Structure 1
Amino acid sequence: MADTVQFYMEDMIPEMRDLEQKGIFSKKEITSILKQRQKFEYALKRRIAKKADFLRYIEYEMNLEALRKKRRARMVVNTKKSISDYAGPRRIYFIFKRCLIKFKGDISIWLQYINYAKKTGASRTLGRIYAEAIQLHPTNEKLWILAAAWEWEENANIVAARVLLQRALRLNTTTESLWHEYFRLELVYIAKILARREILGIDVSLEDVEKDLLKDKEVDSDNMIKLPTVTGEEFSAFTKEDENSEEQAAAGKKATSKKGKAGKVRVALTEEKAERLKAEKNPVLRGEIAMVVYRNGIKEIPDSFSFRKGFLDIANSFIKPRPLQEDSIRVIYDSIDQDFKHMPEARALVARRPIDAYKVDEEGYAAGVADTVKAFWNICEEDVKMWEIFVENMEAEYQRTQEENLKLYFSKTIDRIFSSATKKKIHSEALFLHQVSWILATSDLSVEAISKKALAIVDKAVVQYPESAALVLQQIRLLRTLARSEQVARLPEIFALAQKSRHSESFDIWREYITFLRVAYREEDMSKEQVEEAFLEAIRITTTLLPDITEERAEIGLIKQNVGSWFLDWVNEVEGIEGVRRVYQSLMKKSLPDLTFFMACIKLEKRNSVDHPESKKVIAILYDKAICADEKNEDTYLSFLKYLNETGQIAEANKVLWKASKAVTNNDDFSQRYSEMLEGRWVEPEFGNTELNLDMDVDVEMQDEDNDEDETMSS
């Protein structure tokens, strides 16, 4: 190991001597660089290599190279390049290669390697990197897409980009992103050719078609769009040699071929072949290759609506020129309509076709809106999901457009949707929520009138959908905008029902409840004893909730973490630190608090006094209990160590550090974080205490009297 490191260090001598002679680094700086590199090299020679060591070494070399370049740029004399100008990037590449020998399966390292090669402009090296990465990870679609994008965008090589994506699809036939990117590539290729013709004002004449499709070499100009060369091989894909040479000779149109510098074939055009090359008749410029990609893609992935929609999104993302012809887009819509006719989202997409054909500011958009609305009314029928999608689409278009008449049209249409749904007794939780949100956002009534109008709808909705936490939460928030007497009259009953149902697992409802309790005490609607009793009951209920072992029940963890902390915050405001100690000591006897509860106690104790002997003793006990609650939590140890160092308890800090070294999962990472803490670079995290909104009134989205659409107030 030492011999290898010594070999690497000796190999650096010419580079270091050059840097010193040029005056880029001083002798002292070079000594420091060599010591640092030696330290990194020994780290890389461990029995079990660590990725972090390689990455730190690479980061150090990149920073060093950036510093060398800055100093080199300031030099006026002796600007001739020498070994020190090449040694830095070469070493970084060498470290990357050594890292990838050990961690060839780590995609993130390959991506960093690729990014560095792009940054340094190493085209040949980048090609080899892509080849090696793809060979090792043939099922990783991101690598294939990056390689194809590099060939097209940097090398202007459409053929190579196509070949890469075709190979990728042979190995990954069901990877949606590969089909989409191949489709996008073909459309971008067409769009660039059409855009160049449009910018240069070139008519689609026979000579111009030949020049575009058989051009040997790109002409660089500030007023031109760079396009890849179209070779004779590509040209032969959509043209054929005239089989009857005698007829050509008789007509004076004998075909000739000439080889350019790159060996590409230039084919003279007959009138018949030139006619085929016009943009409207040329299969390449009509998007036939892109449509072949689409047809093959849906054969491999026939049952995915999002996959089909992705093709449409790509096609509609082009403004001018549009590379895909109308008949091709119609094929995509027709296939979606035929294969997904029973899916509401698919029917809505087909109905949106007149709108999606134009941008908001284009001339045909207004006519498209009328056609789309008519199509939606025809397909809604009794399908409540279809009504929800109808509303969502109209609201989205209402937000997109800035034209006042169109906004008014969308507004009237949305109001008509809600009234029609009510008459037909078509209801759903989502439809009710949309209606309430729309009223709050657009009504020009007073805040109280808007709230009461929306509350009447929500009250009916809660009766129909009592299990909907979203509707109950909206009901609570609307009540909080009303007079205090109405809140006190209705909210306690709503909260009591919520705590006895599945709504007890809603974090937002618990936050509203705790806010209500604190405001009730502040406004003297409840006594201190009543609020404390309510808090204790809340802790009892949340303690009995089952653990958040599934993603759907993840909010339960937040509820358990915060309810106790909110209780302690309120007690601290009312009684001070003595009241806090009384409460948490009582709770620790009756239940098993979690880490967040203990950290909330510590936070309040620190806020009281960290230098008082009694506080020091109490804080140490609380930290011990917090560590017992989660022995592997590194942040708890670091928080404790930070407190002990700040208060001068060095002996205790050493004991805690020894205990942490035995408990944490990764001792090296913990040591690194501990060093950052000592240097003041570690930021102590918040342990789950979410802030409360203690304002009596909750703002409601509404317009002012001047109908300012942009002025909204969050509920």
Structure 2
Amino acid sequence: MAEFVEKRCEDMIPELEQLERIKIFDKNEIRGIAKKRKEYEYKIQRHTKCKEDYLRYIQYEMDLLKLIRQRRDKLGINQKKSDIDYTIANKVNVLYKQAIFKFQDDLRFWIAYMKFCKHVRFHSSISRMMGRMLQVHQDKPKCWHIAARWEAEEAHNIQNARQFLLRGLHFHPDSQLLFTDAFKLELSEALANKQNASSVNDTPTPATNDEDVPIELKRAYVIYLQAFKRIKDIKFIIDLLNIAKEHSNTEKIQNKIVSDIVEEYAHEPLMWDTMARRELEGLVLPSGNDTPMEIDSTAQSSLRDRISLCNEVYQTAVKKIKTEEMWSLYIDCILEINHETGSLPNYKRKLLRNALTQAHQAGKLREKYYLQWIGMLSTNKKDENDQKRLYEVLCWATDALPKSVDLWQARLRYHLAFGQEDSATAAFVKATEILGEKSLPLWKMRLLHVQTKSPEETEQIFQAALQEGPTIAKDMKPTYIEWLVLTKSIQVARKVYDNLCLQPPPCLELHKKMAAIEMMQPEVSLKHARRPHEMATLQFGKTNTDVWMDYIMFELKAGDPKKVGEIHVRAVKTLEAVLTDNFISEFSLIKTNSDAIEQVQ
């Protein structure tokens, strides 16, 4: 192995000498490059091959090539450009081939190699490698997809791309990815052929007898028929319809797809959504007596007519499919229509109001739409009718979805904004009863309002919150202590803390807040400042290393450094076994600090 590595390194000498001769690198840099290459060569020649060694070696060579190009641009050196740059690129090419040969199952090497070849324009290497990749990875539709895209987009060989896709579909007859690629390819090729034919002859292309599809679209049509037969997924078929819509002169195929969707997926919300949006775009729906869509499909040119026809489709849909999903698709479309306010704003808003009201009455309106409805009505606070309607919608929303915290917040915010204290209190009481532990945001909102409007009632709100469930009481404890210090005194806060810290559930944030408050006092009382740390270690010392570290840091900085050893021993005895090593490591980091060492000693 050593002899082989030495031979490889000797072969690199002329290239390195040229780099030094034209002054891209100095002697030390050349020596460093040679040393690094030798290390990598030994690694990739080991008996047990490692992917990472190849990847690092390749990356090193690519970085070297990039650096050479940067130095050339900076120094204006163009000598030996083809020799040196090509030699390095070829070396990377060889490394990739070796790696692919050793690790054929790893698709990352194949894809990375293709990107590299594209970057350095080794296009012929990719074409040769493509066949090998498909032999090894023919069970992966993605590989056929990659091969076809390369041939179509980079090599501009449509015939090869078509063959790859057809072979891929032979192995993967249910692959949506390959059917989509094949459909796109045939549509694009049909358009290109038609343009070429038009430039030569202006006579129209005759249509075939099969579904009256123009002959240049026949391949795409056959691909679609196979896809529709093999894959029963409305989302996929709609994707094919949207692809066809992006290409010109595909009305025949679009009509066929639409007819198939209407016939096969009459009870799918997405089918109705697609048909409604086509009406909005002014696309004529195919006529037929067997269509389940009981609407007028006549083409209309005006925006109002298109919106109206779109709305009619949805109205028919929600009568046939009485689900939340169908109503949501309907409202999403009407909301999109309302985003463009330049024309017919009143008509659009009317349709939206009607859709939201009908969805609510049907009991199928989701939370996010209630919130959007509330948001729209909240924008015009001067309009009395809007405000009455807003209150009505808020009541509807909280009655329909009583477990929604956001809707109760919106309702409470409305009452408080208009000074309706009694209504706010009644809504708050009702909401907290229904939401239980989830009502914490409402308690915070209520508390903030009382502190602003009626400070004398703040104590009452805190006491009520502390009597609630564990989640609410636990969150309110630190806030309560902070409020006591700011409005009363540290003595009162200490007395209350002594009670709160013993009430279940234990709250770590309470101890942290009290410790911080004690350290902010003009004269720090070590007795009182130490108590929160003691309580934190007693209640959380088994499962939390931070409480012990905080205690130690307090004693080092403000307390008695002599106590650190005792705390350390207690921590090691108290912590669960899995956490002990972690704590010891953290403690060791503190001891490495020279100031801390002096204090401990």
Counterpart-to-counterpart distance in 2, 1:418 and 1:446:
20
Instruction: Report the CA distance between 1:375 and its aligned residue.
Output: 3.0
Instruction: Report the CA distance between 1:123 and its aligned residue.
Output: 1.1
The answer to whether the Cα contact below 8 Å between 1:18 and 1:83 also exists between their aligned partners in 2 is: no
Amino acid at match of 2:264: D
Matched, 1:293 2:223: yes
Counterpart-to-counterpart distance in 2, 1:600 and 1:413:
54
Structure 1 vs Structure 2 CA RMSD: 5.3
Q: Determine the structure 1 residue equivalent to 2:346.
A: 408
Instruction: Report the CA distance between 1:60 and its aligned residue.
Output: 3.6
Matched, 1:393 2:328: no
Deviation track 1:63-118 (CA, whole Å, cap 9, x = no partner) reads: 32212112223455653435421233234334444555565444445433333332
Counterpart-to-counterpart distance in 2, 1:307 and 1:158:
24
Counterpart-to-counterpart distance in 2, 1:109 and 1:64:
20
Q: Determine the structure 2 residue equivalent to 1:307.
A: 236
Distance 1:617 1:191, change over 3 A: farther
Instruction: State the SS of the aligned residue for 2:362.
Output: coil
Deviation track 1:136-172 (CA, whole Å, cap 9, x = no partner) reads: 3334333322221111112221111111111222222
Q: With a CA cutoff of 8 Å and minimum separation of 6, indicate the structure with the bigger relative contact order.
A: 1
The answer to whether the Cα contact below 8 Å between 2:44 and 2:50 also exists between their aligned partners in 1 is: yes
Instruction: Report the CA distance between 1:332 and its aligned residue.
Output: 0.8
Amino acid at match of 1:174: D
Distance 1:95 1:433, change over 3 A: same
Matched, 1:341 2:266: yes
Instruction: State the SS of the aligned residue for 2:332.
Output: helix
Counterpart-to-counterpart distance in 1, 2:5 and 2:461:
69
The answer to whether the Cα contact below 8 Å between 1:461 and 1:471 also exists between their aligned partners in 2 is: yes
Instruction: Report the CA distance between 1:460 and its aligned residue.
Output: 2.6
Instruction: State the SS of the aligned residue for 1:412.
Output: helix
Distance 1:528 1:366, change over 3 A: closer
Counterpart-to-counterpart distance in 2, 1:619 and 1:11:
68
Q: Determine the structure 2 residue equivalent to 1:135.
A: 135
Structure 2, gaps ≥5 residues long? 285-299, 580-588, 590-601
Q: Determine the structure 2 residue equivalent to 1:427.
A: 363
The answer to whether the Cα contact below 8 Å between 1:173 and 1:300 also exists between their aligned partners in 2 is: yes
Instruction: State the SS of the aligned residue for 1:341.
Output: coil
Counterpart-to-counterpart distance in 1, 2:35 and 2:468:
60
Instruction: Report the CA distance between 1:297 and its aligned residue.
Output: 0.9
Pick the aligned partner of 2:202 from 183, 199, 205: 205
Deviation track 1:316-371 (CA, whole Å, cap 9, x = no partner) reads: 234xxx141x2321111111111111223322322333224569xx9666543333
Counterpart-to-counterpart distance in 2, 1:353 and 1:589:
63
The answer to whether the Cα contact below 8 Å between 1:148 and 1:164 also exists between their aligned partners in 2 is: yes
Matched, 1:190 2:190: yes
The answer to whether the Cα contact below 8 Å between 2:261 and 2:271 also exists between their aligned partners in 1 is: yes
Q: Determine the structure 1 residue equivalent to 2:292.
A: none
Instruction: Report the CA distance between 1:203 and its aligned residue.
Output: 7.0
Instruction: Report the CA distance between 1:456 and its aligned residue.
Output: 2.0
Instruction: State the SS of the aligned residue for 1:381.
Output: helix
Amino acid at match of 2:236: F
Distance 1:110 1:626, change over 3 A: farther
Instruction: State the SS of the aligned residue for 2:306.
Output: helix
Counterpart-to-counterpart distance in 1, 2:128 and 2:477:
62
Instruction: Report the CA distance between 1:296 and its aligned residue.
Output: 0.7
Report the identity percentage: 21
Instruction: State the SS of the aligned residue for 2:71.
Output: helix
Q: Determine the structure 2 residue equivalent to 1:118.
A: 118
Q: How many residues align?
A: 535
Amino acid at match of 1:309: I
Instruction: State the SS of the aligned residue for 1:396.
Output: helix
The answer to whether the Cα contact below 8 Å between 2:398 and 2:407 also exists between their aligned partners in 1 is: yes
TM-score, normalised on structure 1?
A: 0.60
The answer to whether the Cα contact below 8 Å between 1:5 and 1:41 also exists between their aligned partners in 2 is: yes
Matched, 1:354 2:273: no
Q: Determine the structure 2 residue equivalent to 1:373.
A: 311
Instruction: Report the CA distance between 1:481 and its aligned residue.
Output: 4.5
Instruction: State the SS of the aligned residue for 1:342.
Output: coil
Q: Determine the structure 1 residue equivalent to 2:421.
A: 485
Matched, 1:441 2:386: no
Instruction: State the SS of the aligned residue for 1:12.
Output: helix
Q: Determine the structure 2 residue equivalent to 1:72.
A: 72
Counterpart-to-counterpart distance in 2, 1:133 and 1:630:
52
Deviation track 1:646-688 (CA, whole Å, cap 9, x = no partner) reads: x9x9xx9xx9xxx9xx989xxxxxxxxx9xxxxxxxxxxxxxx
Distance 1:78 1:394, change over 3 A: closer
Amino acid at match of 2:235: S
The answer to whether the Cα contact below 8 Å between 1:276 and 1:282 also exists between their aligned partners in 2 is: yes
Instruction: State the SS of the aligned residue for 2:81.
Output: coil
Counterpart-to-counterpart distance in 2, 1:104 and 1:533:
69
Higher helix share: 2
Counterpart-to-counterpart distance in 2, 1:364 and 1:118:
49
Q: Determine the structure 2 residue equivalent to 1:316.
A: 245
Bigger radius of gyration among the two? 2
Query: Equivalences for 1:221-232 in 2 at 5 Å?
Result: none
Query: Equivalences for 1:157-172 in 2 at 5 Å?
Result: 157-172=157-172
Amino acid at match of 1:144: W
Instruction: Report the CA distance between 1:300 and its aligned residue.
Output: 1.2
Counterpart-to-counterpart distance in 2, 1:94 and 1:582:
75
Distance 1:444 1:123, change over 3 A: same
Q: Determine the structure 2 residue equivalent to 1:463.
A: 399
Query: Equivalences for 1:235-314 in 2 at 5 Å?
Result: 283-285=214-216, 287-302=217-232, 304-314=233-243
Counterpart-to-counterpart distance in 2, 1:340 and 1:30:
69
Counterpart-to-counterpart distance in 2, 1:535 and 1:53:
61
Amino acid at match of 2:471: I
Counterpart-to-counterpart distance in 2, 1:184 and 1:581:
75
Deviation track 1:533-563 (CA, whole Å, cap 9, x = no partner) reads: 56656772379xxxxxxxxxxxxxxxxxxx7
The answer to whether the Cα contact below 8 Å between 2:148 and 2:160 also exists between their aligned partners in 1 is: yes
Instruction: State the SS of the aligned residue for 1:205.
Output: coil
Counterpart-to-counterpart distance in 2, 1:436 and 1:491:
17
Counterpart-to-counterpart distance in 1, 2:313 and 2:420:
47
Greater mean deviation of Cα atoms: 293-302 or 582-591: 582-591
The answer to whether the Cα contact below 8 Å between 2:440 and 2:472 also exists between their aligned partners in 1 is: no
Counterpart-to-counterpart distance in 2, 1:14 and 1:108:
33
Distance 1:603 1:341, change over 3 A: farther
